[in-house]
Structure 1
Amino acid sequence: MTIEISKEYKASLVPFPKETLEALDLPKETFEFLTEVGLPPHAGYEITPNAPLTFFDMPNIKKHAHLQNTFLDIASMDMMGELTIDMKTQEVYQIQKGRADSWGNSVEIPVFANDSIGQFIDCLGIWLSFHQQLRDEVDKNLAINPKFSLFDRKEMYEPILNKLKEIDPESVKWRKYFWRRMCEPDIL
């Protein structure tokens, strides 16, 4: 299995014009990344079978009711929530919708993804390279053995875990973190 960020993925990143983001008063590193490197086109990426990742045409600033800091929302993950950048720390989070509180407001649960937007974009590029190869390998194994289960073959995730760790060691440190969770057999 060859896992690397493809040239096509790198070439697909679209920088935002500086004038469109200046009014958002973003932290310097985030502003520079978004205006010099950019994000993937907004079209949906299949990162799991049930959650297409769709980047917004324009990121937007948002205060989340149950979270202290201000966030820059960059993408939707359909039923899995949103991807957002904490404006104070510049860390990337998945914001999951939890149960409603006693006032009827949906509780928002931040799940750490990466220390920076640059690391997230690199981890996504690596994941997109790996995910289809893993699905093909699973299909091949199921054709040979209908009882095949990733729960019995967790070592199949070792190559991607190692690559993610190279990009951002913190991203796979705990099982509850976004990328580590993506490497669980029930996600495929």
Structure 2
Amino acid sequence: MTATALTWCRRSPEVEAMSWTVAGVELKSRLLLGTSHYPSLQCLSDAVQASGTEVLTVGLRRLQPEAGGGSSFWQRIQSLGRRVLPNTAGCHSAQEAITLAQMAREIFGTPWIKLEVVGDDYTLQPDPFGTVEAAKALVRDGFAVFAYTSDDLIVAQRLRDAGCAAIMPGAAPIGTGRGPLNPHALATLRERLPDAVLVVDAGLGRPSHAAQVME
């Protein structure tokens, strides 16, 4: 199963129950859905339709035939009519992520980018220094940056100050499905960054995990 992410924003009572705004775009669904590791393209399509998501995260490397992608994958994504959020998954340095983001902008035709800079291959923990460095450069270059990070408050503050459109703290290590390991840290992020768009990303394996995050 692919990774999902869930927004966690404060809203006034007048705002529609599920709507939220990121990078100047209003969305009704709070679910961002990944597109990797599905057993078939039909299964991917069915999941997208059933979820009601409006945003699909797509890795540039998924367009490579050896990664199970290629033109058929991209054609299927286009046919779904959703907004695409390209990501820099697999990058290990700020410069590598910047280069891949620029390529993604040309290919997908969007300034949106989910920034991922891997710091450790075993846990897939993000590199905080490389992430902040890349975020600053990409924002200057006109990108709307969705930065994947840990639940560390200081790093999140640096990403906010860099001008990121959204900050995406992980609930648990990527692929574990263990749910929020440190709810207090996530609550602290929400308290200390009241105006930031927070998208809890990675490690959500059950509907109850998503409900816990929303609470």
Mark the structure with the bigger radius of gyration.
Answer: 1
Using the size of structure 1 for normalisation, the TM-score is: 0.27
* TM-score, scaled relative to structure 2: 0.25
